[in-house]
Amino acid sequence: MSISAQNPDISGERQSGQDVRTQNPPKLSLFLMACQAVSNIVKNSLGPVGLDKGCTLMLVDDIGDVTITNDGATILRMLEVEHPAAKVLVELAELQDREVGDGTTSVVIVAAELLKRANDLVRNKIHPTSIISGYRLAMREACKYIEEKLVTKVEKLGKAPLINCAKTSMSSKLISGDSDFFANLVVDAVLSVKMTNQRGEIKYPIKGINILKAHGQSAKDSYLLNGYALNTGRAAQGMPLRVSPAKIACLDFNLQKTKMQLGVQVVVNDPRELEKIRQREADMTKERIEKLLKAGANVILTTKGIDDMALKYFVEAGAIAVRRVRKEDMRHVAKATGATLVTTFADMEGEETFDPAHLGSADEVVEERIADDDVVLIKGTKTSSAVSLILRGANDYMLDEMERALHDSLCIVKRTLESNTVVAGGGAVESALSVYLEHLATTLGSREQLAIAEFADALLIIPKVLAVNAAKDATELVAKLRAYHHTAQTKADKKHYSSMGLDLVNGTIRNNLEAGVIEPAMSKVKIIQFATEAAITILRIDDMIKLVKEDGQGDE
Q: Which of 371, 412, 397, 331 is nearest to 103 (CA)?
A: 412
Q: How far is Cα 95 from Cα 348, in angstroms, rounded to an integer?
A: 42
As a whole number of Å, the end-to-end CA separation of the chain is 30
Q: Is 422 helix (H, G, I), strand (E, B) or coil?
A: strand
Phi, psi of 276 (to 5 degrees): -65, -40
- CA dist., res. 145 & res. 103, Å (int): 19
What residues form DSSP beta bridges with 242?
366
Q: How many CB atoms lie within 10 A of CB 322?
A: 23
**Residue 154 CB neighbours (<10 A):** 19
- Mutual angle of helices 521-539 and 84-99, in 10-degree steps: 160
* DSSP one-letter string for 427-470: THHHHHHHHHHHHHHHT--STHHHHHHHHHHHHTHHHHHHHHHT
Q: What is the rounded CA–CA span in Å between residue 58 and residue 503?
A: 29
Question: Contact 297/319 with Cβ under 8 angstroms?
Answer: yes
- Catalytic residue numbers? 71, 104-105, 408
User: In Å, how far from its chain's centre is CA 78?
Assistant: 14
Candidates 551, 518, 447, 533; CA nearest to 140 is: 533
Residue 456 CB coordination number (10 Å): 22
User: Where are the strands (E) in 402-556, listed by range?
Assistant: 421-424, 500-503, 508-511, 518-520, 543-547
